[in-house]
Structure 1
């Protein structure tokens, strides 16, 4: 009998500090919809990451405590899902700031380099988060991340897709999110197969 692999650990990061943000709600919904092969955990301490400052970096080569916590959480996960709002046609500054910290090289290496990442986003407005996701993808590519190209999830008019308790009530969005999670599961297998599936040394594929 084949041995079943444990579910892959995926960290989820919302690019907003608002506790009731649509993107945090979207990620919490995703944790309940993930296939059994994935285990999703939402990171809720983005507010502890200070503004990027090279002087601070020189004083603390490992980075401030908030940066260390985020970097360690990403390093421990096999994949990363980022949900971004759209502020003024771009990703929020708090998310860009976190990525600037994460892009820095450390003795343990660059945490985003070759990290499988998927991007989605929700907005209360009618345009979704297309421009924010485009700017986010550009930064992630610059960091050497392995960003899933498709499918995309752009949740517009989020106020009518969740109820007052944060439950996703829109079936179309739910189906899109489910497809997105299944695709990310396949993306992880494609770009970072489990050790049990890796090609043994000295054998032909």
Structure 2
């Protein structure tokens, strides 16, 4: 039977600007699939990661962010390219979520990476910079369809902030469906492992 569960998704947007094209792309992705229950987890208030601050009670924004990521089924990263790499706020959020060592909230969370830009390259280099981080973070990242969204300008969006009908919306619709399917695969695989483990324990 096909998986019909709703997936709780954290959107981590690397652009802090409230009306950025990346935020609007993120909201559009989640509006196009009824099994993606999305919420944007803000990163702009996170203090720069300093291990000294984890030795006692960590800063409240860190705790809030870690709890928000820990509680989801998957993570959607949507962000622009800054100087051919990640925005600083996004890299800091990744560092905050990955520490203290051994307590990363990212581990084993299925993820999708989307970069969008008014330019032609669509943030391709920044997209792959995060993929490199995700290897170490132990996050299974959706490989296809790839999402380097170029020439994303304000006129692609309606008054509701979501994508208008057109080729870009068709592509983003495919991305949304692909991400839901990817989480289905990861969750089903883990359910099978858990079931097998429980059965082995019963069999002694």
Task: Return the TM-score normalized by structure 1.
Answer: 0.85
Counterpart-to-counterpart distance in 2, 1:187 and 1:165 = 28
Q: Which runs of 5+ in 2 are unaligned?
A: none
2:53 maps to: 56
Aligned length: 196
Task: Return the TM-score normalized by structure 2.
Answer: 0.85
Q: Which has the higher helix share?
A: 2
Conserved in 1, the CA contact under 8 Å of 2:10 and 2:39? Answer: yes
Q: Deviations over 1:61-81 (max 9, x none)?
A: xx3111111111111110110
Counterpart-to-counterpart distance in 2, 1:167 and 1:149 = 25
Counterpart-to-counterpart distance in 2, 1:141 and 1:194 = 19
SS of the residue corresponding to residue 52 of structure 2 reads helix
Conserved in 2, the CA contact under 8 Å of 1:10 and 1:81? Answer: yes
Counterpart-to-counterpart distance in 1, 2:195 and 2:99 = 31
| Offset, 1:95 | 0.3
1:185 maps to: 180
| Offset, 1:31 | 2.3
1:169 maps to: 164
Counterpart-to-counterpart distance in 2, 1:104 and 1:38 = 27
Q: CA RMSD in A?
A: 2.3
Instruction: Identify the match of residue 155 of structure 1 among 118, 124, 149.
Output: 149
